[in-house]
């Protein structure tokens, strides 16, 4: 996706200019042509290239579609999100905890004996229901 470098309006502007250069929007009138192609106003494109502020979600979505870049990458490059934020957002949230069997499967533990050992270890770490009731 992106390097570990910190992102800011200036780094976003530099990256966007490189993207426009790679796509042939460097010649005279290229910026205006990109604005037309993307559906973003020429003033907004100019503002982005001057590193004047952070683009809004609508603008980032249009940029992602036009440049054929994942929206998540643009969110990171625009310093709106961090890569770890995107990873966290991609994980489903379940109201119920997963079972030891599900955890084993997600960890790639498939051998029946290994699954049984994993389940036993989880059970020992959790304590039995009777142990929790007696201590709780």
Name the residue with higher pLDDT: 63 or 133.
63
Domain CATH number, residue 62: 1.10.260.40
Q: Are 34 and 67 in contact (CB under 8 A)?
A: no
Name the residue with higher pLDDT: 2 or 53.
53
- 59 inside domain: yes
Q: Are residues 74 and 131 in the same domain?
A: no
CA 43 to chain centre: 28
Interval 73-113: pLDDT, tens: 999 999 888 888 888 777 777 778 888 998 999 899 999 99
- 69 inside domain: yes
Mean pLDDT of 114-135: 78
- Domain assignment of residue 131, given as a range: 100-135
Q: Are residues 81 and 38 in the same domain?
A: yes
**Alpha-carbon span 34 to 75, nearest angstrom:** 20
Q: Are residues 22 and 81 in the same domain?
A: yes
Q: Quick one: 55 exposed, middle or buried, by C-beta within 10 A (0-12, 13-18, 19+)?
A: buried
DSSP 108: T
- 73 inside domain: yes
Q: Are residues 77 and 119 in the same domain?
A: no
* Angle, vertex CA 57, rays to CA 2 and CA 73, nearest 5: 10
Choice among 10-19, 44-53, 82-91 with the minimum mean pLDDT: 82-91
Q: Are residues 33 and 83 in the same domain?
A: yes
Token pair for 108: 């790639």
User: What does the DSSP assignment read for 18-86?
Assistant: HHHHHTT--STTHHHHHHHHHT--HHHHHHHHTT-S---HHHHHHHHHHHT--HHHHHHHTTSS-HHHH
Q: Are 81 and 72 in contact (CB under 8 A)?
A: yes
* Angle, vertex CA 29, rays to CA 26 and CA 32, nearest 5: 100
Q: Are residues 16 and 51 in the same domain?
A: yes
pLDDT band at 5; cut points 50, 70, 90: low
Q: Are residues 14 and 63 in the same domain?
A: yes
Q: Are residues 17 and 69 in the same domain?
A: yes
- Claim: this prediction has a pTM higher than 0.75: no
């Amino acid at each position: 996706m992106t390097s570990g470098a910190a992102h800011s309006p200036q780094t976003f502007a530099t990256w966007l200019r490189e993207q426009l250069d790679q796509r042939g929007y460097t010649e005279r009138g290229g910026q205006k042509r990109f604005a037309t192609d993307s559906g973003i106003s020429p003033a907004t494109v100019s503002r982005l290239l001057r590193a004047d502020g952070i683009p809004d979600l609508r603008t980032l979505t249009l940029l992602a579609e036009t440049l054929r870049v994942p929206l998540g990458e643009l969110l990171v490059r625009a310093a709106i999100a961090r890569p770890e934020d995107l990873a966290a957002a991609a994980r489903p949230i379940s109201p119920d905890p997963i079972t030891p069997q599900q955890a084993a499967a997600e960890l790639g533990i498939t051998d029946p004996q290994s699954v049984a050992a994993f389940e036993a270890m989880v059970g020992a770490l959790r304590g039995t229901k009777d142990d929790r009731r007696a201590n709780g």
